[in-house]
Amino acid sequence: MMPSGIPVATVAINGSANAALLSLEILALSDAGIAEKLVKKRQADAEKVLEKDRAISERFNKP
């Protein structure tokens, strides 16, 4: 436990990708270039998830 007044961001063990994203979110607050790239990455990640969802839906919803 951390004492009150000491903000702590945590990520999972072997969660380096999430740690990097958290760092980029912090840096994006003061860097428009990073913010723009982060938005594009999030959009691309969302599209990948939607593609996977469509593939699963097609696989399991066949008559």
Count of domains observed in the chain:
1
Counting DSSP H helices and E strands in the chain, the numbers are 2, 0
36 assigned to some structural domain: yes
CA of 39: how far to CAs of 9, 16, 22, 35, 62, in Å? Answer: 21, 19, 13, 6, 35
pLDDT attached to residue 29: 96
User: Which parts of 1-63 are beta strand (E)?
Assistant: none
37 assigned to some structural domain: yes
pTM exceeds 0.75, yes or no: no
1 assigned to some structural domain: no
Range of the domain at 55: 16-60
4 assigned to some structural domain: no
Give tens-digit pLDDT for 8-31. 777 788 888 888 998 999 999 999
